[in-house]
A and B are shown apart, each in its own frame.
Chain A
Amino acid sequence: AAGVIQSPRHLIKEKRETATLKCYPIPRHDTVYWYQQGPGQDPQFLISFYEKMQSDKGSIPDRFSAQQFSDYHSELNMSSLELGDSALYFCASSFSLGTRAYEQYFGPGTRLTVT
């Protein structure tokens, strides 16, 4: 079965540079979530999109922005990178039907290293 695809899988950037992470949800999934996971930490919710509209916002820095496109893929744009932004970034997707909450499936993650 198709899974969530994330690219790139690894990314090395210098401080103050910009990075763009991409997420391709499971086909027919209409909701995308972004999480940041530091070493030894639980995944922290950043932002989510439902039907191309921002649906919720968590601890996402103002330096970060994201959007969901017409084909449901999503991009997380990170500017003025800081050393503390080094982490695993996961995208997850789910399907909605009315108000029923369905399972979130995670992508393999993008490991971002800021030097």
Chain B
Amino acid sequence: GENVEQHPSTLSVQEGDSAVIKCTYSDSASNYFPWYKQELGKRPQLIIDIRSNVGEKKDQRIAVTLNKTAKHFSLHITETQPEDSAVYFCAARGETSYDKVIFGPGTSLSVIP
């Protein structure tokens, strides 16, 4: 079945620096890759997503890149702020809308003021 790996598991950066989280997936049929941010005790919130026909997508300080050949995708956060501190999950999903989302194990990001 589908497996999603994510690195690093924890990441500490100084405020204003960039943070990069990397994921790999196993199922070549996956073509939708959402990223979720989850604060302690709260719901996962979709922050950005990318589909397999796009190599890169950017939304203000957040960008995601996808290398479908290598089955890699990454999240880049620039100019980090303390409120970016949270657990970030990458995920992968198949084509149809009722395909389950498989989550990576998560990255705990701490932004130090």
Interface residues of A (CB under 8 A from B): 31, 33, 41-45, 48, 50, 55-56, 58, 88, 90, 92, 94-97, 99-109, 111
Contact = CB atoms under 8 A, between A and B. Distances in A.
Contacts of A96: 96-98
Contacts, number: 66
Nearest to B44: A106
B98 A56 contact: yes
Contacts of A42: 89, 103-106
A101 B104 contact: no
Contacts of B17: none
Q: Which among A41, A44, A48, A104 has the greatest number of chain B C-beta atoms within 10 A?
A: A104
Nearest to A103: B46
Contacts of B96: 96, 99, 101
A56 B1 CA distance: 13
Contacts of A31: 97-98
A50 B98 contact: yes
Interface string B69-88: 00000000000000000000
